[in-house]
Amino acid sequence: MKTLIQNITQLVAVPPGPVAGEAMRRPPIVEDAALLIEDDHIAWFGYRSDAPDHAGARVIDARGGTLVPGLVDCHTHVVHAGSRADEFEQRIGGASYIEILEAGGGIKSSVRMLRTASEDDLVAQSLPRVRRMLECGVTTIEAKSGYGLSPEHELKTLRAIRRIAAETPVEMIGTYLAAHTIPPEFAGRPNEYLDQMLESALLKSIVDEGLAEFADVFCERGAFDLEQSRRFLGACKEAGLTPKIHSEQITRTGATAMACELGAVSADHLEFVNDDDIAVLKRSKTIPVVLPGCSFFLGSPVAPARKLIDAGLPVALATDINPGSCTIESLPLVMSMAATMLKMTPLESLVACTANAAAAVCRADRIGAIAVGHQADLVLLDVPNVNRWTYNVGVNPVATVWKAGRVVVERGDRAVG
C-alpha cells in the first residue's frame, strides 16, 4: 500500500534524535516537496519533481501545506480522575502549589478521586483528552501513573493507559510514578511506603505485563528527598524500568545530577537547574525536558531552555498535562509558549517535540523524524510553514494525521488566515 503526498510547501525533515544545541535551529527543509509512504514507513521524500515511480499509489494533494513528523508528548499525567478547579481558584487567591499539597490537597486530592474511580471510569474520563491531543497532531503519548499510590490503584491506572492505547491510534507509553507523593496512610513513613511500592512481585508484574517501560519520581519538598528518589529509581531500574525524574521544579534538590548518574533517560521540569547541573547533563545522555505550560499555569519561573540549548543539549518539550500544575492538552500551544516564554524558535520547538521527545522515550530510532525507513507518523498542516503554526497561537491548522502510515485524523478545510 503506497501513498504519495505532494504539493507540500514546506517539509521539515527533522532527523532522528537526539538533535542537540545549534542543530535544533536548522533541521533540513525541503520546499515544494513530496513524500512517499509505503505500508507503515516513509519510503522516500524530496523535491516533488524528483518523485519516484508511484504507479498505483493513492495521491494526496497537500494544498501547499506543511508536513512535519507526528508529535511526541513525552511527559504527561493525562490519565487522571476528576478536576482540581477549586485549587485553581485558591491559587489565584494566593495559595501556593506546595502549600496546597502540604495541606493534604494537590496530588492527594487527585489520589482520593482516582481511588474511587473504576478502571472503566478512568478510561472514560481520559480517552477524550487523548483524542483531543491526537487532533492537535500528537501520535505518541507517555502517560504516568502516580495518582493511585497503592499497588491496586497504580496497577489500575497502568491498565487504563493500556486500554486507551487499544482504543485509539495513539501509541501510549506507561510510566510507573508510584513515587509521586506519600499517601496519607503512610504519612511520616515514606520509606515504608517505598518498600511496598518496590515489592519485587509488583515490579515484576508491571514489567512482565508490559504495563510500564519507565519509572519516575517527584523529588521535591512535600514528596521524596534525594536519597529516597535514588532508592526508588535504582530499584525500578534493576527490575527493568528505565528511570525518569521530576527534578528542580519548585526548589533545587540536586535530583538532576543524581538521575544523570543513574542513567535516567530524561530529567524533566528543570526550572531551578544551575550551571553545575547543566555541566552534568552535558556529560550524560539524559535528555532535558522543559514544560513551560506548567510555569504558565502556576505563574512560576520558567526553565532556562535557551541556556540549555546554547550549552549544546538536546532539549525536549512536553505538555505535562495534569489536573494540578498544567491542564493544557495542546502540545502546539506549548510550542507557542516555548517561543514567547523560553525564546525557543518555532523550528527548535518542533525538533524538541519530535526527535528529542522521541529520544526521551527511547524511540528515536523509529519515530519523531522524517527519515527514510522511519515509521510514517506524520502531520499535514494547513499553513505554509512551521512559524505560522506557532504564530497563530491556539488555532489548530492540523489537516491530516498519519500513524504508522494510516490516516487517523482527517479534518475539513482548516486554512488559517
| Residue 3 contact, options ligand NIG, Fe ion, none, Cβ 5-8 Å cut-off depending on partner type | none
Instruction: Give the cell for residue 358.
Output: 522521541
Asked whether position 382 contacts ligand NIG by CB under 6 A, the answer is: no
Contacts to Fe ion by CB under 5 A: 320
x/- track of binding to ligand NIG for residues 183-222 (CB under 6 A): -----------------------------------x----
Asked whether position 3 contacts ligand NIG by CB under 6 A, the answer is: no
Asked whether position 325 contacts ligand NIG by CB under 6 A, the answer is: yes
Instruction: Give the cell for residue 22.
Output: 545549534
Total number of residues that touch ligand NIG (CB under 6 A): 13
| Minimum distance, C-beta of residue 203 to ligand NIG, in the bound complex (Å) | 21
Asked whether position 256 contacts ligand NIG by CB under 6 A, the answer is: no
Asked whether position 232 contacts ligand NIG by CB under 6 A, the answer is: no
Cis amide linkage into residue 18, ω under 30° from 0? yes
CB 36 within 8 A of CB 59: no
**Distances in whole angstroms, Cα of residue 192 to Cα of each of 182, 186, 188, 199:** 10, 7, 9, 11
Q: What does residue 271 show for φ and ψ, rounded to 5 degrees?
A: -55, -35
Asked whether position 322 contacts ligand NIG by CB under 6 A, the answer is: yes
Q: Which of 324, 332, 397, 405 binds ligand NIG (CB under 6 A)?
A: 324
Contacting ligand NIG within 55-94 (CB under 6 A): 77
Question: Residue with the closest Cβ to Fe ion?
Answer: 320
| Minimum distance, C-beta of residue 104 to ligand NIG, in the bound complex (Å) | 13
Instruction: Give the cell for residue 162.
Output: 493500556
How many Cβ atoms sit within 10 Å of the Cβ of residue 61? 11
Q: How far apart (Å, rounded) are the C-alpha atoms in residues 237 and 213?
A: 10
17 versus 323: smaller Cβ distance to ligand NIG: 323
80 versus 163: smaller Cβ distance to Fe ion: 80
Q: Which amino acid appears at position 304 of this protein? A: P
Side-chain-side CA neighbours of 312 within 13 Å: the count stands at 7
Asked whether position 294 contacts ligand NIG by CB under 6 A, the answer is: yes
Asked whether position 125 contacts ligand NIG by CB under 6 A, the answer is: no
